[in-house]
Structure formats: structure tokens, C-alpha cells
Chain A
């Protein structure tokens, strides 16, 4: 994989949908709202992240998982989609067993059905000692015996919502500037 050849040209892939001329969709706050979150032992990554942050009034956030042990964890990789509906598709879940998460990033947002969504990628050391990485399944990652620290940057002036992206033909988290509904008002 190490090559001393002249620089390879970066590949461009053709996606199934129409090309969107706007390539960067961004939103901003005048400042981030920072919290330190402890993921509670025994809960799934999804449960340990969503409920405490919702209680703190945060439903959209970017987080850094500072490393820690999981009692069990499954992840997916992203090979080409044989159906051709999209360029890639997630693989079947791979069970890594009792896993140490070396470093992870997770985004908290709102799923297409209105519920909370956690999108997490991480580097891990699997039960068998191998080093792996990929898309972590937040419902199938169970926090181990000790709390895991997370640095949270919450967003208040905009929200992250899973919405269908016609170009790639999959639902993706995207930022939307809107007045957030307070669950207490519902």
C-alpha cells in the first residue's frame, strides 16, 4: 500500500442522483455550548448519549468520545452497494466483542421519523486484539464497567436533521436553521 509512484489522481464517483451545485451546507452559532458527558455503564451508546443531552436541552451536537471500554460492540464497514441504488451501502453488522474504543466522534441529530439519531465513527481494539474502525451501531455498543467521558459541542441556533439527499440517494444528516421546538411545549 506504500507507493513511491507519481501522485495518483483522486477518483471522482458518479452518484445516482442529480448533482447538487451547492457542495458545502453549513450553519453556525456565535459560540458552541460545551458540556462534559459521562456515558453510563451498562447503557447503549445511544441511550447514554441521547437522554442526558435531551435533559440538558440539547438535541443537535457534535461530540468527541475520549476513549473507553465497551462490554460489547458491533460496527459496519461500507463496501460498494451491489444493488446500485447508492455508491456504497453499509455491510451487515460485525460483532467486535468486548471492545476498547480508542477514539470516536458522534453526531447527535434528529432522524427522519423525528426521533433522536446518533451517527458514530470510531477506531477500536477488538476482543481479539485486532485494530479496526468503522460505523459504530449505537444500539449495539454497550458501555463497559466504567463511565466514558465525552466532550459535547451543542448547537442551539440550528438543528441537524436526517433528510433525503437526492444526489447520493440516501438520507443524511444536514444542518437546518430553524426555531427548535421545545419538547416541554409539545
Chain B
């Protein structure tokens, strides 16, 4: 359980600055979430924010409010909005958290957090990441 302690603002506020910027094309059948994590490994980013993204998925898998999965059948399911970040643990493990809106083959939209391993890229995925450099306290 995380306690929000006003006298310890570092627990909830992280100061830092933007560093490098990377653009990638991730190929078909790669997983969206894992692909962004691997992009950070490729570029040496420990922490990053998504600054722009568009592309298509074979099918989409989003988490519902009750924890179940929402499956949106393609192909293709277009990614029309994506926000998220990548964080590295002290042990060096890289984890992306991505949330967004997708459009199904009829153009209807669906949204939520993308489930890791459940979102294979259809044709291409274009993503821009900006490195986040937290101030080390």
C-alpha cells in the first residue's frame, strides 16, 4: 500500500527532464507492449513517455473495468490514440504501460489499457518515445 505523504513530495512528484527522442517502425506480428519495451532496450532508454503513435493491430486486447479482457476482432484494428510510459525497475526490468483508443474494421471505437502479449501488430506501428531522465535524489 502506498501512502501519500505531503511532507515527502518525492513519493508522488518526480522531477526530471526530457532526454533523447526515438522513432521506430515496429514490424508485423510483434506485440505492441513488448515491442515498445524492446525499443527502450534497443535505444538504452530506462524511462520514457510515448509522444506519438499510430498503426494497426491484427486484433486488440484491452483490459475491462472488472479485470476481464475486451477482445476487438480484426484485421485490422487501427490504433487511433495512444498514451503511456515505460519504467525500469531498480533491477533493470523494463515495463511499458499503454492506454489508448482503437477502431475496429467497421470504424467503431473501443478503449482501455493494452494487455501485454495480446496486441499483435498487423502491418506497421510507428511510435515516438521521449526519454525521461528523473533527477536522482
Contacts and interface: CB of A to CB of B under 8 A. Distances in A.
Interface of A: 1-4, 7-8, 10-13, 15, 20, 22-32, 62-64, 75, 77-80, 86-88, 94, 102-107, 119-123, 131-135, 153, 155, 158, 160, 165, 167-168, 170, 172-175
B42 interface: yes
Given A123-B101, A132-B107, A153-B21, A62 B118 contact: no
A107 B28 contact: no
A1 B81 contact: no
Majority secondary structure, B binding face: strand
Nearest to A154: B21
Contact of B80 (A25, A94, A103, A158): A103
B103 A24 contact: no
A107 B23 CA distance: 10
A133 B21 contact: no
A168 B124 contact: yes
Contact of A31 (B18, B27, B35): B18
B23 A62 contact: yes
B23 A134 contact: no
Q: Which 6 A-B pairs have the closest CB atoms?
A: A133-B103, A62-B52, A32-B21, A62-B128, A26-B24, A133-B80
A8 B68 CA distance: 12
A2 B68 contact: yes
Nearest to B101: A123
Interface footprint category on B = 35 or more
B30 to A, nearest CB: 5
Nearest to B44: A28
Contacts of A105: 52-54, 80-82
Interface string B69-105: 1111001101111100000000000000000011111
A123 B22 contact: no
B38 A155 contact: no
B19 interface: yes
A133 B126 contact: no
A134 B71 contact: no
Given A132-B109, A153-B130, 6 more contacts: A29-B21, A32-B51, A87-B123, A103-B80, A107-B54, A133-B108
B108 A132 contact: yes
A133 B52 contact: no
A77 B20 contact: no
Q: Which of B24, B55, B126 has the most CB of A within 10 A?
A: B126
Nearest to B59: A11
Contacts of B105: 77-79
A158 B20 CA distance: 13
Given A31-B18, A165-B124, A78 B76 contact: yes
7 contacts: A24-B25, A31-B18, A32-B128, A77-B104, A77-B105, A153-B130, A175-B25
Interface in B47-74: 51-56, 58-59, 61, 64, 68-72
Interface in B102-136: 102-110, 117-120, 122-124, 126, 128, 130
